[in-house]
């Protein structure tokens, strides 16, 4: 089982991540996001509903994870976040290549 939170944490420590839906959408639109993670427990769902289709349109993998709280912690913030984009994978590069398979 792949630990998505671990990949985000590794990318945050050695590369660059964007946190929050607005920043994530900007990164996807610019084409700078390598992979996007969004939380399943976001309410209302509309907050993240545009992410999967936008990512598909841009050819960027998007993965739903179970917890916005864990997503926030993995991204290095004390509050929960609806979504995170990895911009520079750093040492998580190989992990991201494996996600795309």
Residues 38-88 pLDDT 10s: 999 999 999 999 999 999 999 999 999 999 999 999 999 999 999 999 999
What is the model's pTM? 0.95
Reading the block at residue 39, the tokens are: 């939380």
Beta-carbon contacts of residue 98 (< 8 Å; ≥ 6 apart) = 2
Q: Are 24 and 36 in contact (CB under 8 A)?
A: yes
Q: Are 83 and 48 in contact (CB under 8 A)?
A: yes
- Reference 12, options 69, 66, 90; nearest CA is 90
Question: What is the reported pLDDT for 46?
Answer: 95
Beta-carbon contacts of residue 2 (< 8 Å; ≥ 6 apart) = 95, 98, 99
Question: What is the reported pLDDT for 99?
Answer: 80
């Amino acid at each position: 089982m792949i630990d998505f939170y671990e990949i985000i944490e590794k990318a945050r420590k050695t590369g660059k991540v964007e946190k929050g839906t607005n920043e994530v959408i900007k990164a996807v639109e610019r084409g700078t996001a390598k992979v996007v993670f969004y939380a399943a427990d976001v309410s209302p769902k509309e907050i993240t509903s545009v992410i999967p289709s936008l990512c598909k349109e841009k050819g960027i993998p998007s993965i739903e994870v179970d917890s916005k709280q864990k997503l926030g912690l993995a991204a290095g913030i004390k509050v929960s976040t609806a979504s995170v984009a990895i911009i520079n994978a750093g040492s998580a590069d190989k992990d991201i290549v494996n996600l795309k398979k």
